[in-house]
Structure 1
Amino acid sequence: MYSRILAAFAVIVTLFSGMALLAPAAIAQQSGEVPGQALGINSDADLWRFVRTGNAGSVSMKDELGAVMIQSEGDNWRALRNGPLSNIGAFGLFIMLFLLTMFYMVRGKIRIEKGPSGKTILRFGSIDRFAHWLMAGSFVVLGLTGLNLLYGRYIILPIVGPEVFSAITTGGKYAHNYLAFAFMVGLGLSFLLWVRHNIPSKIDLQWLRMGGGIFKKGVHPPAKKFNAGQKIIFWVTMVGGLSVSLSGIALMFPFQTTMFADTFAIFNAVGLNLPTDLTPIQEQQYNQIWHGVVSLVLMVIIVAHIYIGSVGMEGAIDAMHSGEVDLNWAKEHHNLWVEEEQQKTKGSPSPAE
């Protein structure tokens, strides 16, 4: 009996002795000192300040990025992506769809005022239509898969569940990566085919002053093969498409490009003071944000283009369907181009089949 009491007393004494020995070290650590009188940073504040500013330590692995414990810009990137980028993008798409719906309810479908003539004129050949649909089809898939990455977890995931959403997102990722190259080919081909028709001219100013003739019946401003609105779409698509392609390549092949550092250096040459000493992770974050911004801007604009080229205007979709458009439609929307074509052929358009 006494032996058990003595044993228990010995255990208690041992525990209290250990705690007494550890207490000074714990108190020293709480006060910012390093236990064991080893060399080191003297306060937790200094330690975390060192870590939070992105300073790199040393690692034995080959990946040097692993030496950075906390990359503080990542907080800013996440906040920007999940905050303003997502919110403003969704707001822009909603506003465009709302405006198009209101426009359709007020203006209705823009009809051929003189009615179909029964005669057609070739507007786009096979190579033109191929370039258009290669670019447009891939862009639609890229847009939908990109929107899924941005909003899918909030909209699709609660409906279909994690397993189906995971399969959709994984498949969408591969589609996004591979169809990006189809988009680039279509973009380049479209530029080569149509750039000569999209050089701005004085006629475009008149077209813009008249609102393109889409807001009021009986108004048909002069236009060649591409009117001012189509030229704006063309240049926005070309410049935006090139930019989103470059940032997309940088994202597909990470840590191998310095696009933003080089771009900032160019801007600095004209008086700006942008950072050029960017880490590989910072380059990727800039690429991702820019890719999202440009893509959302293109989507908002292209939605309007799809509307006016399909349900918004009678006869417009034929240009990219069969390539042949009704002669009266062509005269109302591209009268100068019709005159040029008729002078070339010196004959009348063939009857529609």
Structure 2
Amino acid sequence: MTFLARIRLVLFAVVLLGIAASSGQAMAQKLGPDGAPDPTASVTSERDLLKRFPRVEGRIDIPDSKAAVLIQPAGRSWDYFHEVLLHWGGAIVILGTIALLGLAYLILGRIRIAAGRSGQKVLRFKAFERFSHWLTAVSFVALGLTGLNITFGKIVLLPLIGPDAFSRLSESAKYVHNFTSFAFMAGLALIVLIFLKDNLPERVDLDWLRQGGGFIRGKHAPAGRFNLGEKLVYWLSVAAGVAVSLSGLLLLFPFYGTNIADMQLAQVAHAVVAILFVALILAHIYIGTLGMEGAFEAMGTGQVDLNWAKEHHDLWLARQLANENRPEAPSAAPAE
């Protein structure tokens, strides 16, 4: 009996030592490198948690149930789009457009007025038409710069000016972006109303396309008030303007008839269309300034040189001259 008692005592001691060793190991895992307790040692890792529960919600005391959503799958996809895909895609599109325009300038040079300036001017755009254009153009530039700061500011500006200045700049840019959007939408509406009838398709557009749009030397491309290239820019700008305006309103007034998924889709659409819109307007600015002699004067002063109008918008010029030379109707004879 004494021998059996000793065996039981030894076994009991071994069990106690095993329990103590496992407890010590567990305690060691809960201590940090410096020996202090680690409160997160026994917590499930975020990766394991998200594998089991892709959508994580908390407990809240306010009526807005959306505030309880902490993590959800579409949010991680949106974060990857905003922080990776948009950065690379936006940089490729914008820098690629600038590179192509620079290459076009090196190859084609500036398109000059072939016959030279005549010294005679023709009214192309009235004052209110120019006001509508510049209202849209200036507000677009403000929106474009402040919007690009949202996408590329942390990469480009933050290392240059530091976090404090970047925070102040970004806060101001946010307000400029929000409030300038209304000026842009007003200008867009005016552009649609004023220039819609002159941008409808015509048979002459096919002739303009067959003649290379005036970029092939020795070939004349006939055109009305706007040629096919300008009409394409107009319709693409209107479509992009409507898209960024609608998606921007959803972002400006969040969750009015939308949920979290809708807001994420609106942000993706707004960003993608805005990047493409910037590339389109860069090409438009190039043609209107460096790319073509005499083009900027149309929106700068409203008047263009007669020879420029003959070379680029001959059918429109013919109608303008015909209207100017049209004899006035004779006035009624005075009653006796």
Same fold (TM over 0.5): yes
How far 1:69 sits from its partner (Å)? Answer: 2.9
Kept in 1, the 8 Å contact 2:124–2:302? The answer is yes
How far 1:53 sits from its partner (Å)? Answer: 3.1
Kept in 1, the 8 Å contact 2:125–2:298? The answer is yes
1:111 — aligned with what?
112
1:206 — aligned with what?
207
Q: 1:164-189 CA distances to partner (integer Å, 9 max, x unpaired)?
A: 21121111111100000000000000
The answer to whether structure 1 residue 99 and structure 2 residue 78 are counterparts is no
How far 1:118 sits from its partner (Å)? Answer: 0.7
Aligned residues: 292
Aligned to 1:69, what secondary structure does the other structure show?
strand
- Alpha carbons of 1:320 and 1:159: their partners in 2 closer, same or farther (altered >3 Å)? same
2:276 — aligned with what?
297
Kept in 2, the 8 Å contact 1:222–1:334? The answer is yes
Kept in 2, the 8 Å contact 1:52–1:72? The answer is no
Aligned to 1:110, what secondary structure does the other structure show?
coil
Q: 1:60-103 CA distances to partner (integer Å, 9 max, x unpaired)?
A: 22331122232221110010122222211110111111111111
What letter is aligned with 2:299?
M
1:3 — aligned with what?
none
How far 1:202 sits from its partner (Å)? Answer: 2.2
2:7 — aligned with what?
none
Q: Distance in 2 between matches of 1:233 and 1:249?
A: 24
The answer to whether structure 1 residue 286 and structure 2 residue 265 are counterparts is yes
Unaligned runs of 5+ in 2: 1-16, 28-43, 327-336
Within a 5 Å distance, the mapping from 1:17-36 to structure 2 comes to none
- Alpha carbons of 1:113 and 1:167: their partners in 2 closer, same or farther (altered >3 Å)? same
1:272 — aligned with what?
none
2:306 — aligned with what?
327
What letter is aligned with 2:49?
W
What letter is aligned with 2:241?
G
Within a 5 Å distance, the mapping from 1:334-345 to structure 2 comes to 334-345=313-324
Aligned to 2:122, what secondary structure does the other structure show?
strand
How far 1:112 sits from its partner (Å)? Answer: 0.4
Aligned to 2:294, what secondary structure does the other structure show?
coil
Q: 1:286-319 CA distances to partner (integer Å, 9 max, x unpaired)?
A: 1111000000011111100000001111100011
1:125 — aligned with what?
126
Q: Distance in 2 between matches of 1:52 and 1:299?
A: 40
2:231 — aligned with what?
231
Kept in 1, the 8 Å contact 2:86–2:151? The answer is no
Larger radius of gyration: 2
Q: 1:230-285 CA distances to partner (integer Å, 9 max, x unpaired)?
A: 10010011111011000001001111134xxxxxxxxxxxxxxxxxxxxx111111
Q: Distance in 2 between matches of 1:251 and 1:194?
A: 29
Within a 5 Å distance, the mapping from 1:95-244 to structure 2 comes to 95-214=96-215, 216-244=216-244
- Alpha carbons of 1:152 and 1:129: their partners in 2 closer, same or farther (altered >3 Å)? same
How far 1:218 sits from its partner (Å)? Answer: 3.1
Kept in 2, the 8 Å contact 1:52–1:70? The answer is no
Aligned to 1:292, what secondary structure does the other structure show?
helix
Q: Distance in 2 between matches of 1:83 and 1:74?
A: 14
- Alpha carbons of 1:69 and 1:158: their partners in 2 closer, same or farther (altered >3 Å)? closer
What letter is aligned with 2:68?
A
Q: Distance in 2 between matches of 1:106 and 1:113?
A: 18
Which deviates the most, 64-73 or 218-227? 64-73
Q: Distance in 2 between matches of 1:295 and 1:176?
A: 13
The answer to whether structure 1 residue 86 and structure 2 residue 87 are counterparts is yes
The answer to whether structure 1 residue 61 and structure 2 residue 62 are counterparts is yes
Aligned to 2:113, what secondary structure does the other structure show?
coil
Q: Distance in 1 between matches of 2:265 and 2:289?
A: 36
How far 1:106 sits from its partner (Å)? Answer: 1.5
Q: Distance in 2 between matches of 1:326 and 1:52?
A: 69
Q: 1:213-239 CA distances to partner (integer Å, 9 max, x unpaired)?
A: 12x333320100010001001001111
What letter is aligned with 2:129?
D
Q: 1:146-204 CA distances to partner (integer Å, 9 max, x unpaired)?
A: 11110011111111111221121111111100000000000000000000001112221
- Alpha carbons of 1:54 and 1:332: their partners in 2 closer, same or farther (altered >3 Å)? same
Q: Percent of aligned positions with the same letter in both sequences?
A: 43
Q: Distance in 2 between matches of 1:113 and 1:290?
A: 43
Q: Distance in 2 between matches of 1:98 and 1:49?
A: 43
Q: Distance in 1 between matches of 2:239 and 2:231?
A: 12
The answer to whether structure 1 residue 250 and structure 2 residue 213 are counterparts is no
1:307 — aligned with what?
286
How far 1:57 sits from its partner (Å)? Answer: 5.5
Kept in 2, the 8 Å contact 1:138–1:180? The answer is yes
Q: Distance in 1 between matches of 2:245 and 2:84?
A: 24
TM-score normalised by length of structure 2: 0.81
2:38 — aligned with what?
none
